[in-house]
Amino acid sequence: MADVLIFDFIDLIVRLLLVVLFVQISNLLRVTDADVIRSRLFLQFERIKRFFNLLTIGGVFFLAAALLHMAELLHLIDGNLDVVEGLFITIFQILTLTLLYYIYDALKSPKRGVL
């Protein structure tokens, strides 16, 4: 039971961080010129692409967690797999958070004199 509470706490923290990043990225998109955004994303394209590919692999964990949950609901699996499901969701959320951070990092104002 304590293991599930740990994943619930991590889930809450990651969701809060995701919302903060969404707001920050949204603000940057609102106040920055479209050409500047395109050039900044272009300069960081390889790094963003690498982490997006990693998130795609993380999507397997997201799908596996949903399948485990459905199997539990339909009583196809005996036992409690909440810890495994929590781990899979946490992995996916952390990968999503990482991708959003790198997008935010690419969009924010670089150091003076760079762009």
Average pLDDT over residues 91-114: 85
The predicted-structure confidence for 56-96, as pLDDT tens digits, reads as follows 999 999 999 999 888 887 777 777 788 888 899 999 999 99
pTM comes to 0.81
Contact between 82 and 6 under an 8 Å Cβ cutoff? The reply is no
The closest alpha carbon to 47, from 93, 106, 95, 107, belongs to 106
Domain boundaries, the chain: 2-107
Q: Are 98 and 51 in contact (CB under 8 A)?
A: yes
Query: Distance from first CA to last CA of the chain, Å, rounded?
Result: 51
Q: Specify the amino acid at residue 115.
A: L
At residue 1, the pLDDT reads 56
CA 23/CA 18 separation, integer angstroms: 9
pLDDT on residue 39:
92
Q: Is the pLDDT of residue 100 over 90?
A: yes
Cβ atoms within 10 Å of 49's Cβ, excluding its own = 10
